[in-house]
């Protein structure tokens, strides 16, 4: 299961999550969504700390965040 889950149909490609990710592991995907935008996508989930800054920055609440339980 992923730590970072995006509902691409809600993403408007605003880029705020990409800019704010402290680990710099988000980027615009190559493909287009049905809305015609490049959605945000995870480039290296191993580096994700589940800080949820991306999810909280998203005006469309498109991202859900999970954390590995110890």
Partner 1 sequence: MKQVFGKTNVLSANPTHYCPGCDHGVVHRLIAESLEELEVADRSIGVAPVGCSVFAYDYFNIDFNQAAHGRAPAVATGIKRTRPDSIVFTYQGDGDLAAIGTAEIIHAANRGENITVVFINNGIYGMTGGQMAPTTLVGMKTQTSPYGRDAATMGSPIRVSEIIATLESPAYVTRVTLNTIANQIKTKKAIKNAFTLQKEKKGFSFVEIVCICPTNWGKKPTDAHKWLTENMLPVFPLGTFKDIHGIEKA
Contacts with partner 1 by CB under 8 A lie at 1, 3, 9-10, 12-16, 19-20, 37, 50, 52-53, 55-61, 63-69
| Min dist. Cβ of residue 30 to partner 1 (A) | 18
| Nearest by Cα to 29 from 16, 19, 10, 43 | 43
Find out whether 4 and 67 touch, Cβ atoms under 8 Å.
Answer: no
| Min dist. Cβ of residue 37 to partner 1 (A) | 7
| Min dist. Cβ of residue 20 to partner 1 (A) | 6
Find out whether 12 and 60 touch, Cβ atoms under 8 Å.
Answer: yes
Between 24 and 50, name the residue whose CB sits nearer to partner 1.
Answer: 50
- Three-state DSSP at 41 gives strand
Which helix (H) or strand (E) segment holds residue 4: the answer is strand 4-6
Between 35 and 44, name the residue whose CB sits nearer to partner 1.
Answer: 35
């Amino acid at each position: 299961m992923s730590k970072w889950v995006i509902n691409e149909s809600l993403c408007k490609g605003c880029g705020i999550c990409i800019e704010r990710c402290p680990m710099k592991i988000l980027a615009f995907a190559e493909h287009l969504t049905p809305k015609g935008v490049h959605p945000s996508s995870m480039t290296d989930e191993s580096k994700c700390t589940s800080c949820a800054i991306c999810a909280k920055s998203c005006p469309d609440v498109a991202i859900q965040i999970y954390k590995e339980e110890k």
